[in-house]
Structure 1
Amino acid sequence: MTVRNFSTTKGIIRFEGSDRMIYWRRFAMLLGLAVVIATMGLIRDSGAVIIAAMLVAPLMTPILGTAAAIVTGDISRAVALLVVVWIAALASIGVAWLIVFMTDFPRGVLLPNEVLSRTDPGAEDLVIALAAGLAGAYVQVQKSELSLLPGAAIGVALVPPLATVGILLYFQEFDGAYEAMLLFATNFGAIILSACAVYIATGAGRLLLRSEKRRMRFSMGLAVAVLFLVAIFAQLSTTTYYRYAETRAESALANRIREWAQDVPVEIVRIDVRARERTAEVWAIVDLPVDAALRVASAAEQLPAKLTVTPFRLVARDILGQDYKVTVRYQPRYAWQVDLATDDVAPAPYVDSDHLN
């Protein structure tokens, strides 16, 4: 890419000039529509609607513009575009909160999976954002590859995490809102860094060689971007570690429960391990013996005798350790098997349909 072409690319992201109000109106309109679409898609738990919001959102342009300003050593423009991006981000959060408030979405219901899926960012999200940022910057430079732009926009979800923050703030789920904001910050920092690499590789480096002052400004801007991304990566690394630790613990505990139950029908419904809080929950359904319906006793006294040989707390402690608190939620179920030829009644067979959420 020549220097002249790079200057043309830079001009695309200008907010000045005689037509600046036209751009601002278009930017505000598209951003507002994207937030509305994303929020409704998140509430309805519709992935297709959320993808539509990714395609409409205009936030990629000023973020790429920030990278272009850093590469050309124009720190004042980079700061101005950063202010634009974060004001737009805060406005998006406010609009999402207002939409949920106006729809009077009930607070006591379970949050949709599409919302919850954006509250657990990890290191892999950083890799995705870096790759999509490279694609987005490349498409901006190479106009012949504009067909790739929708894929880049979908790869880096900018508006859905912001809408998620607004929704979670409405529900007063502040920890989840922080995690969703961390996902947006991850995408934001990764796009800037990867776009800088693309711009330098495609010709902008010639501008840096012409001026010592420009090189110093570029170095300062790039250092800030790298430090920001390092701080984000530290957060993501911790989150990723805990997530994989929780997944391994949940799998190990499920296997240990199956070994502990042996031939007693115990259906594991759900296991949740939270490594940060050192807590765990086990949801299970236990088949009672055939004669349990004829006995008057508490649910605990009606459990199969084999389950009382080894206390469950010892089973959980083998996997999780002594510093965990485990909540067990089990539901007794009457179950039996009838031989239709002889009418003989026997215990029901083992239910092998365990699944983890």
Structure 2
Amino acid sequence: MPEITGADVERMTASLFIEPGWRSRGLSKFWTLLILAALIASAGVVGDSTATVIGAMIVAPLMTPILGSALAFVLVDRRHLIRSVLLVVAGSASVIAVGYLVGWIGAPPDDFAGNSQVASRISPHLIDLLAALATGTAGAFALARADVSDALPGVAIAISLVPPLAVTGLLLEVRRFHDAGQAALLFSTNVAAIIGTGITVFLIFQVRAAAQAAGRRVGRLRGTSLASVAALLVLVAVPLTIGTVAVTRDRQLAADAGPAARAWAAGHGWEVESVTARDGRVDITVLGQPPAPDPQGLRRALDTAGAGDAPLLLHVVGGASLSCPPRTGQCAVTTSIGSSNTSS
């Protein structure tokens, strides 16, 4: 592993430590890019545009104070640690506020119910923590090694920082508070992973020794401080583990309910369009012509299939619609129309 020199430490601190004051070029750059990234991400989420959201990831500068917090922690530089943490907190709140404002202006009538950008950020799992740990490691490694710094834009795309915050603001505006909390949890997971892996990489590269050799003042790094960072990672891993277990349970529940639902529908001449499960509830949509099949038969079929403890929401789409061309005086049956029924 190449040795880190004092010059490398100076380059890293110059890149990550943003000096205060509105005349500071680093601070004005941070806030300008952050607000623009928040607007781009919010617009991309509202429009369900993956390309636009990726653009926001590239522009967003939140990675700088987050890694700055990790570097200041390793150097025990309390002044820059407090500044970096405050920038992360204030920047996060600003992105949420921008998302809320954009949602107030242009939230869709369905409250993002069918939005893939929202759906991908409101169900964080352990795999998200694993990805964040790998991405944080890559970011810290690219920063410490000047010869691989070209990888940083790819790291910015890989880690999801501004989009979850924008989703949080958008969902708060439409009063989907639980899902907004899940999006905020995804952001918190990524921040904790970046700080934890950043500290680890900087310690492996012996940044403290290089800083001391260059005459930079370095404080004493206590074991309790390192333990607190490890505890932070464990803290975010707990809800992610719970979410992962819930998703695994729902997948098994849908797999058990599917064959029973299809057999029940076929017996009535109907067709199953979808079988899904979320939060322990089975959602089934069936299509066909009247009369509608008896939902109690489906309930009994699910009980037999091992899904007896799961509530059931049955969407029955049937009947007929009439097509009436102009000036003909005649109408014809063309398509089915929808209704819904529930059974639990």
1:256 aligns with 2:260: yes
TM-score computed with the length of structure 2 as normaliser: 0.83
- Contact 1:279–1:326 (CA<8 Å) still a contact in 2? yes
The structure 1 residue matched to 2:125, chosen from 102, 122, 126, is: 122
Q: Please, which runs of 5 or more residues in structure 1 have no aligned partner?
A: 289-298, 335-357
Look up the SS of the partner of 2:24 in the other structure.
helix
Structure 1 residues 108 and 47 mapped into 2: Cα distance closer, same or farther (>3 Å)? closer
The structure 1 residue matched to 2:249, chosen from 237, 240, 245, is: 245
Match in the other structure for 1:83: 86
The structure 2 residue matched to 1:186, chosen from 159, 183, 189, is: 189
The separation in 1 between residues aligned to 2:171 and 2:148, in whole angstroms, is: 37
What amino acid does structure 1 have at the position aligned with 2:26?
Answer: Y
Please give the root-mean-square deviation of Cα atoms over the aligned residues, in Å: 2.7
- 1:257 Cα deviation (Å)? 1.9
- Contact 2:289–2:318 (CA<8 Å) still a contact in 1? yes
Q: Deviations over 1:231-263 (max 9, x none)?
A: 110000000110111112112211222344456
Match in the other structure for 1:273: 277
Match in the other structure for 1:345: none
Match in the other structure for 1:170: 173
The structure 1 residue matched to 2:202, chosen from 199, 203, 207, is: 199
- 1:206 Cα deviation (Å)? 2.5
- 1:142 Cα deviation (Å)? 1.5
Match in the other structure for 2:59: 56
The structure 2 residue matched to 1:286, chosen from 281, 285, 288, is: 288
The structure number with the bigger radius of gyration is 1
Look up the SS of the partner of 2:230 in the other structure.
helix
TM-score computed with the length of structure 1 as normaliser: 0.80
Match in the other structure for 2:40: 37
Structure 1 residues 246 and 17 mapped into 2: Cα distance closer, same or farther (>3 Å)? closer
1:323 aligns with 2:327: no
- Contact 1:3–1:203 (CA<8 Å) still a contact in 2? no
What amino acid does structure 2 have at the position aligned with 1:230?
Answer: V
- 1:18 Cα deviation (Å)? 8.1
Q: Please, which runs of 5 or more residues in structure 2 have no aligned partner?
A: 321-344
The separation in 2 between residues aligned to 1:282 and 1:126, in whole angstroms, is: 31
Aligned residues: 314
Q: Deviations over 1:169-204 (max 9, x none)?
A: 011000000000000000000001111121112222
Look up the SS of the partner of 1:16 in the other structure.
coil
- Contact 2:37–2:162 (CA<8 Å) still a contact in 1? yes
The separation in 2 between residues aligned to 1:124 and 1:110, in whole angstroms, is: 24
Look up the SS of the partner of 1:215 in the other structure.
coil
Structure 1 residues 39 and 19 mapped into 2: Cα distance closer, same or farther (>3 Å)? closer
- 1:311 Cα deviation (Å)? 1.9
Look up the SS of the partner of 2:122 in the other structure.
coil
The separation in 2 between residues aligned to 1:62 and 1:120, in whole angstroms, is: 26
The structure 1 residue matched to 2:220, chosen from 214, 224, 234, is: 214
Match in the other structure for 2:49: 46
Q: Deviations over 1:70-102 (max 9, x none)?
A: 111224432331121011001110011112223
